């Protein structure tokens, strides 16, 4: 099994769209009436959910005239948010076929099929023509891609000169071993964590200029505390949530993620960069 196969297998669900449909109906909605805000709890697969998306995307300076690429788009939650809130065209790419099939169905549910196009493929070999996109972003993706230099070189190739590239990833903060499983990996062999400095070195090596770096560890701690409080008050997970995407051991993955962040082993970090002209 290749690394790509291992990563795709980790995220594959099998009945994901049916599970989301059941969750939607449990909230009293239908595919015809559900909104992107209703779907946010299940398709914003990163620390901080919608709030993190708004904070991160707001730094990219996107406009309605832009064609934007979402690398490692998952179910396309961030793609749909960007298309809906900014009015631009968004293309997403992800390794996991289950995510792409489900994500495109969700785009149809919320009336964004003409604005968001999700495709199955590798971030290391996207197949897009050079200088195809005005902006690129990725959220919680690099933890599964060991070749950061190759990844950023490919993104540089398909990004227009002067274009912005935003990264929001889990990054290593110490050499201490992590507790597994975590949301992006069941075992250490399928995890490809790197430090913020290693990210920045790979970005500058690919022709990017770093404009902003922000560690979101405190934000993550507040997010997890609020999540725990809501879960305890509800005596269980909501009808729509990331437990649908992560599977039966979702609670263990989240618990380990909280432990790893609290112990200072990792933290979510934003890096904003711009391709040199």
Share of the chain above pLDDT 90, in %: 83
Average pLDDT of the chain to the nearest whole number: 93
Least confident stretch, 98-107, 125-134, 230-239: 230-239
What local confidence, expressed as pLDDT, does residue 232 receive?
A: 78
What local confidence, expressed as pLDDT, does residue 22 receive?
A: 95
Reply yes or no on whether the pLDDT at 5 is more than 80. Answer: no
What local confidence, expressed as pLDDT, does residue 236 receive?
A: 72
What local confidence, expressed as pLDDT, does residue 1 receive?
A: 42
What local confidence, expressed as pLDDT, does residue 231 receive?
A: 75
What local confidence, expressed as pLDDT, does residue 42 receive?
A: 92
Residues 211-247, buried b or exposed e (16+ Cβ, 10 A)?
A: eeeeebbebbeebbeebeeebeeeeebebbbbbbbbb
Structure tokens at 50: 């919608």
- Cα(118)–Cα(272) distance, integer angstroms: 23
What local confidence, expressed as pLDDT, does residue 14 receive?
A: 60
pLDDT per residue as tens digits for the range 48-93: 999 999 999 999 999 999 999 999 999 999 999 999 999 999 999 9
Q: What is the mean pLDDT of residues 264-275?
A: 98
pLDDT per residue as tens digits for the range 173-222: 999 999 999 999 999 999 999 999 999 999 999 999 999 999 999 999 99
- Phi, psi (rounded to 5 degrees) for 214: -140, 120
Beta bridge partners of 274: 164, 209
The secondary structure of 157-180 as a DSSP string is HHEEEEEEEEEEEEEE-SSSPPPS
What local confidence, expressed as pLDDT, does residue 234 receive?
A: 76
Parent domain of 120: 3-275
- Cα(164)–Cα(47) distance, integer angstroms: 22
Question: Structurally, how many domains does the chain consist of?
Answer: 1
**50: closest CA among 84, 90, 16?**
84
What local confidence, expressed as pLDDT, does residue 13 receive?
A: 55
Beta bridge partners of 271: 167, 213
pLDDT per residue as tens digits for the range 196-209: 999 999 999 999 99
> Which H or E run includes 251?
helix 250-262
What local confidence, expressed as pLDDT, does residue 229 receive?
A: 85
**66: closest CA among 151, 146, 185, 166?**
166
Q: What is the mean pLDDT of residues 22-49?
A: 94
Reply yes or no on whether the pLDDT at 9 is more than 90. Answer: no
- Cα(37)–Cα(51) distance, integer angstroms: 11
pLDDT per residue as tens digits for the range 112-138: 999 999 999 999 999 999 999 999 999
Q: For residue 47, give the DSSP letter.
A: T
**271: closest CA among 151, 160, 173, 138?**
138
Q: What is the mean pLDDT of residues 259-271?
A: 97
CATH number at residue 109: 3.40.50.150
């Amino acid at each position: 099994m290749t690394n790509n196969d291992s990563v795709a297998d980790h995220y594959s669900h099998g009945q994901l769209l049916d599970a989301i449909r059941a969750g939607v109906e449990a909230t009293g909605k239908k595919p015809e009436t559900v909104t992107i805000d209703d779907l946010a709890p299940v398709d914003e697969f990163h620390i901080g959910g919608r709030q993190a998306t708004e904070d991160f995307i707001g730094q990219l300076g996107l406009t309605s005239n832009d064609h934007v690429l979402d690398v490692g788009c998952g179910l396309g939650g961030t793609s749909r948010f960007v298309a809906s809130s900014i009015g631009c065209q968004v293309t997403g790419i992800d390794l996991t076929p289950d995510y792409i099939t489900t994500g495109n169905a969700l785009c149809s549910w919320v009336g964004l099929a003409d604005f968001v196009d999700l495709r199955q493929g590798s971030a290391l070999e996207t197949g897009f023509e050079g200088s195809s996109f005005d902006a690129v972003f990725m959220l919680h993706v690099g933890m599964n891609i060991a070749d950061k230099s190759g990844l950023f070189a490919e993104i540089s190739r398909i990004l227009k000169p002067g274009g912005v590239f935003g990264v929001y990833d889990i990054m290593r903060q110490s050499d201490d071993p992590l507790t597994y499983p975590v949301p992006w990996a069941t075992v250490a062999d399928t995890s490809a964590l790197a430090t913020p400095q290693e990210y920045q070195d790979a970005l500058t090596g690919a022709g990017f200029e770093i404009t902003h770096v922000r560690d979101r560890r405190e934000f993550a701690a507040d997010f997890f505390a609020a999540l725990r409080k809501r879960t305890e008050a509800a005596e269980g997970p909501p009808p729509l949530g990331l437990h649908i995407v992560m599977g039966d051991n979702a609670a263990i993955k989240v618990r380990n993620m909280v432990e790893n962040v609290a112990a200072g082993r990792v933290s979510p970090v934003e890096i904003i960069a711009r391709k040199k002209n």
